Structure 1
Amino acid sequence: MNIWVMESDSGITLVYKPYMDFPINEDLVSGLLTALNQFTIVEFKQGIESIEMGGLRWVYISDKDTNLLFIAADSKDVTAETLRARLDVIRYTFIQQYAHKGNRWGTKWAGNVEIYKPFENVIDEYYTQWKQAERITTVAEFFDILGIYQQILNLVINVIEGHLSEERKEIIYVKIEQMFKHYSNLEIVKKNPELSKITFERRVGFNIINIDPMNCDMFIVEKQILGLIRRIVEILKEEEGYFPSLKYFVKENIFDYLMSNFNLLNDLNLFTFLLQLFLMK
């Protein structure tokens, strides 16, 4: 998979992250990609969405508010829908990080592409997680993973219900509700309807088991669920303090549960992440 973030009019590449080798110069490829898109806009009144060229599948996403063009190329084994969904995650993240206010983009973009160099690390993180998600080869395996995440969410709610006073519960539940409201309004949730099936109620907690793995991008769903788990744990640590929270996690057997699912979590490179999430400050 290779990824470009480009300025539409000039064709200047802001970010280029390759995971495949091209036999020709990257600058020539960038120029060709921009020229092709401009040609289709002039001739057909719309830009390219997806094409097959050079034995690869190419997907384009144009963001009119920022005048940016996002392009991804991958093998034909990857469907256009999957490639587009992944590219859209990158588009959304880039805009959130560098151009959240569209009308201020002109002042942010001053011709210096070096300021976008750190975004390559963000793409690396996504790419690694996509490759991990590709190991989930069956719906049954995905259900197993959803089951683990559901149980972790249940255990965290058990911490709140079993160890905190009513006053402390109220404070934490208000923060979780605010966080979940923000999550529900995210663009990525609106574009992926299965994510809206995640629900939250006080005392009951989160419900993620209604997600249909046949009707979603498993990577996107998994990343959003992990984000919810991370934020809830952070809220607990912020409000209760690190050491009291750690004591509650131990009492609710969260670490025992992670160890009992070590093989699956380790295969997905999630064991260390979850262990550090609950264990570290």
Structure 2
Amino acid sequence: MIIWILNSESGIKLLYKSFLRTDADEDIVSGFLSAFYHFSMVEFHEELESIEMGGLRWIYILEPEFNLLFVAADTKNIKTEMLMGKLNVIRKAFIKEYEEILTKRKKSWEGDLNVFTPFLKVIEDYNTQWHEMESVAHVADYFDILGIFQQLLIMFHNILENRMYSKSKIEIIDLIEKRYKAVGNKKKFKDQEELKNISFSKDSWFNIIDINLIKCDKELVLDYLEIILKEIINAFKKVKGDNLCYKYFNEEGIYAYIYNNMKLLKDLKLDLFFLESFLLL
């Protein structure tokens, strides 16, 4: 995230803080941001709130009482609402901290601007808090994802143990073992130490040591689990056929589990994967 606090008329920079690596000259950009904002007001007769430019998402908030323009920029994967919310927090905190000074200056920015420098620490503290919150949210999502896969693996194991004759059970487990080894030998997954926390054996079935996976590459682990789950479904289908698989999955409560957790699956962006995997039998 990059933050500018500017005089909206002159483009004078009161504060600048960047948490992104950039080669841009902060003073030149400050003037450009103010000019660009005024251009939108003149040409389009409306305030500019959000644009995408230079590979970044830009948010503007005008504080007309003090002729202040607050600007934030961040990568495009950050939602506009999230960035706007952060900038609003900074805007309110800045005005609260310096309202007396801003009122005395009466929109004039002549004099020492170093009086605002201590606020950089406030911005840094906010940014640290936001990163910590995002990290907690990431971990919570990750645990949810691992929990869903763990539950489905338990359900598959229950089907094998409680609904299969010995011959079918052995055939399915043999197929799963074969495909498990083949997936592990794929270039993308081979020699990935973190994937050793997802193990399989004929006797103990699958074991996911989720606490050790938290520091791993989330996308890599998710791709791996999705492929493994598809291979398990394919093994069941090859041995028992689509109709019996549908019957077993339904009786074990897999479809009910997916339906009851659809909101969570949507939030985790896993809904389409599970619908395609289980409903397109």
What TM-score, normalized to structure 1? 0.50
> TM-score, normalization: structure 2?
0.50
**Which structure: larger Rg?**
2
